[in-house]
Amino acid sequence: MSRQPRDQVSTDGVFLSTPGVFDGTAAGLRHAFKMQFSPTASRHDEDGGGGRTAIGTAFAMDRALLDFGAVQPSAVDLARAERDCELLREAIRKHPEVLTQALDLVTGGRTDVDGIRSAASALQGIGLTERQAYDTGGGIVALLLLAAAALLIEGCDACVTVVETSPQVQPQFPSSPGPADAGGGG
């Protein structure tokens, strides 16, 4: 079955940082990467006609959020980002099947616990986890932020209409939906 790339995303969940996953990462980057979590409810019928409702949480495999508002720019170490490029280059050259497996998993659109464990193990096996990258002089979060910033700026530049305004009339931009210090405390 062929899937068409989506050009928009509506969400029914909330994007949360998982700082415990990134304990080794610089405090100013720890909350930048967020995963989507959504509430779930399921009804379980019991003998005798009764039932109960179970409440839980599910995470989305096919989307994440890079929250630039949670980044302290001084925490981005360019030497570590350069090392990340080397680590990623080595992985691309020596282990393309591991990267393809990970990409297939996150673009598959469904949560596959066995697939997650297999891909995580494979990434760990080639030294391409955040903790391993950080321990060897890298730290993938910073590289991801730099690459995403370049893409975001290019996209914004393509969308900006140049409008001359007088000093008294400034365009109004929407404010951030979250607190200004979201995740900034480390």
pLDDT tens for the chain, 186 residues long, are 446 677 788 888 899 998 788 888 899 999 999 999 988 888 888 777 778 888 988 888 888 999 999 999 999 999 999 999 999 999 999 999 999 999 999 988 777 889 999 999 999 999 999 999 999 999 999 999 999 999 999 988 888 765 555 565 555 555 545 444 444 444
Q: CB atoms < 10 A from the CB of 186, how many?
A: 12
Name the pTM for this structure: 0.73
The tokens describing 14, both together, are: 């909330």
Identify the helix (H) or strand (E) that includes residue 160. Answer: none
Closest CA to 149 of 51, 76, 90, 79: 76
pLDDT at 181: 46
Domain positions in the chain are 14-42+53-159
Q: What pLDDT score was predicted for residue 78?
A: 96
Both tokens of residue 113? Answer: 């616990």
* Residues in the chain, overall count: 186
Q: Which whole-number Å values give the CA distances from 117 to 22, 112, 120, 125, in the listed order?
A: 18, 9, 5, 12
- The amino acid sitting at 39 is P
* Tokens standing for residue 19: 């700082």
pLDDT at 96 (0 to 100):
97
Residue 29: which of 38, 39, 21, 37 has the closest Cα?
21
Distance CA 87, CA 96 (A): 13
How many Å apart are CA 186 and CA 179, to the nearest integer?
Answer: 15
Q: What is the pLDDT of residue 8?
A: 81
Backbone φ and ψ of 32, nearest 5°: -70, -40
